[in-house]
Amino acid sequence: MRVLIVSPRAQGIGGIAYHVSTLARKLRERGFNVTIYSCENTLHVPIKGLANPSFAFSSWLKCLLDLPYPPQPYDVVHAHNIPSALAMRSSWAKKKILTLHGVYSEQLEVLHRWFPRAVAKRAERIALSWADELTVVSMDAAKHYRKKGFHVHYIPNAIDFSELPSQGLKLYDNQVIYVGRLSKEKGVDLLLKAFKETPQYHLLIVGGGPKEAELRRASRRLSNIHVIGPKPRKLALKLIKGSDLLVQPSRREGLSTAVLEAMAMGVPVIATNVGGNAELIKHQTTGLLVEPDNVASIIKAVEMLITDSSLAKKLATQAKSHVAAHYSWDKVLRQYIRLYKEAAD
C-alpha cells in the first residue's frame, strides 16, 4: 500500500513531529511504501506566522503537480492538522484521512488573537469536509468535533517503549523539567513566574519556538531557571528521566507526547486541566492537574511532589502502568492500518 503523509513537521522533538516520524517508520517496517511531505523537504517561509501558511501553499502545489506516469495514485493520503488539509485535498490519492492534534480553531485563537474567530471556525469546517475520514488524538477533541456533526475516530498518541532510556541525566538537585514547543499556548511563561518565587527548585526548559529568545532574556538573572533550547530526542528523554518531575502548563493541548514519555519512564507529572491532559491524568492517581493560567497552583503542586516522595512515587508507578496499558504504538498502529485498509477498500 502506498501512503502519503503530509505534516508541517516530521523531524525534531515536537509531539506531532515525533508522532509522524514514528508512524512512518513503523509503517515501513510493516512493508508500506511511505512518502512524507513536510517543512523538511518542502519550500516554506521559516518565520513566525508565515511557516504554516507557506507550507500549506507549497505542499498543495507539490501534491497538485505530483503526476507520476503512468498514473500511480497513492492508496491513502494522511494529513496532520489543518495546514496539511489543502495538500490532502489536491493529492492524487484514493482516500483522504485528516488527523487533528487538538482543536485547531482554539489553538489558533490563542496563538493569533488578531485572526477573526468566525473565519477560523469556517475555514476549519471547510478543511474537515475535504477528508474521507477524520481522526483525533484525544477524547476531548473527539467530543468537540462530534458536537459539530463530524464522524471522527479516536486514535491517541503513543509511546515506543523500546526508545526510552534506562538511565537519566540529572543536572541539579530538585530538578523540574518542561519539554516542548516554546509558544504562548504552551504556557511556559507561567513557569518563569512560578520558579522565580521558588529559587530552591531548578527548572530546565527544553525546546525551541517563537518564545525562546524572550524566555532567555527573562531568565538571565534567575540562577535556578535554565533555558537550554532544543536538544536531540535521546538527550531530551534522558533529561526527563533524570528529573524529579515534569511540568506541562499548557493553555491548549491535544495529547502531550512529553507527558506520555514522562509517565512511561516513571517520572511524576503536573499538567494543566485542559484538552487531552484531563483524560491522560487522573488527579492524585496518575499525576496532578492544576488550573490553567494559575501560577499559585503550579507552585503548590511542585512543592507537594518534591517534599512528599512517597506520593510522587505512587503517582509515577500508577501512571507508568496506565500508559503501558493504553498508549503503546503496537495498539495505535493496528488502528491506523485498519483505517487505511477500510478507506482504501
pTM for the whole thing?
0.87
- pLDDT at position 150 is 96
- The three cell numbers of residue 185 are 499556548
Please report which confidence band the pLDDT of residue 209 belongs to, taking 50, 70 and 90 as the band edges.
Answer: confident
- Selected residue with higher pLDDT from 265 and 140: 265
Q: Binning pLDDT at 50, 70 and 90, where does residue 109 land?
A: low
- Amino acid letter for position 110: V
- For range 130-153, the mean pLDDT: 95
Given a cut of 80, is residue 248 above it in pLDDT? yes
| Averaged pLDDT of the chain | 92
Mean pLDDT across 194-215: 94
The model's pLDDT over 292-338, given as tens digits with 9 standing for 90+, comes to 999 999 999 999 999 999 999 999 999 999 999 999 999 999 999 99
Structural domains of the chain ordered from first start: 2-158+328-344 (3.40.50.2000), 161-326 (3.40.50.2000)
What pLDDT was estimated at residue 71? 63
pLDDT band at 107 (very low <50, low <70, confident <90, very high): low
pLDDT at 62: 93
Share of the chain above pLDDT 70, in %: 95
pLDDT score of 50: 87
Model confidence at 92, pLDDT cuts 50, 70, 90, reads confident
For residues 175 and 185, the model is more confident at: 175
What does the block give as the cell for 64?
497538485
Is the pLDDT at 111 greater than 70? The verdict is: no
What's the pLDDT score for residue 104? 76
pLDDT in tens, 179-199: 998 988 899 999 999 999 999
* Predicted local confidence at residue 69, as pLDDT: 60
